[in-house]
A and B are shown apart, each in its own frame.
Chain A
Amino acid sequence: METLTRAQLVEAIYAQVGLSRNESAALLESVLGRMATALGKGESVKISAFGTFAVRQKSERIGRNPKTGVEVPIMPRKVLSFRPSQVLKARINHEPVGSALDEDS
């Protein structure tokens, strides 16, 4: 099955919004660039009906080279996590949006 890449997103913006393909491509890069910049500052990016991208701090720990058994410190680092929204999870499972919430009540 075909993977969606920048080219198809540019085509979708071009078709939906009516900008030129060049400008559609530039705007797509702006969207991704702005998200990356916010995440780089440690901010989370919350896109309603899609999900939340958040930066988590990992502290230093001792790792081991599985081949040699030598212990090496793994430096403290930041990792990015993505939490899908209920809407996205429902859409992927072809469930009516909001059914997950209805079950609780």
Chain B
Amino acid sequence: MTRSELIAQLAAENPHLRHSDVEAIVTTIFEEITATLSEGRRVELRGFGAFSVKRRDPRTGRNPRTGESVEVSGKAVPFFKPGKELREVVNGGPPQAGAPKPPARPAKTKA
């Protein structure tokens, strides 16, 4: 699923909203998360997961082609830790509240 497919699904589900509004909602959500992380703050969405920023220390790296040492400056990297409910959904466990239930499957071969 891409960003535009997500927007299309939401627009179909909410015919009373303008397409541009649906787009603005999705943009706002990811923009707020990005802005928060860039201030070094955490984002916590219970059930879904948490975004945080991890610091990488500066290190001496090597140019693999020439073998020269180069100073690699420290940097921040974004990190996502999925929440319990999302981990369960991914493993075919109980669906997240609000998520459509998967169709019931007949029980497998019972000898």
Residues of A in contact with B (beta carbons under 8 Å apart): 1-6, 8-9, 12-13, 16-17, 19, 24, 27-40, 43-51, 53, 55, 77-80, 82, 84, 88-89, 91-94
Contacts and interface: CB of A to CB of B under 8 A. Distances in A.
A92 B77 contact: yes
Query: Do most interface residues of chain B lie in helix, strand or loop, or is the interface mixed?
Result: mixed
B40 to A, nearest CB: 7
Contacts of A37: 89, 95-96, 99-100
Given A39-B89, A46-B1, 14 more contacts: A3-B41, A4-B32, A4-B36, A9-B33, A27-B10, A37-B100, A47-B6, A79-B87, A80-B86, A82-B78, A91-B37, A92-B37, A92-B76, A93-B76
A92 B53 contact: yes
A2 B21 CA distance: 28
Interface string B75-89: 111111010011101
Interface of B: 1-3, 6, 9-10, 13-14, 17, 21-22, 24-26, 28-30, 32-49, 53, 75-80, 82, 85-87, 89-92, 95-96, 98-100, 102
Contacts, number: 153
A105 to B, nearest CB: 16
Interface centre among A38, A92, A93 (most CB of B within 10 A): A92
Contacts of B46: 5-6
Contacts of A8: 32
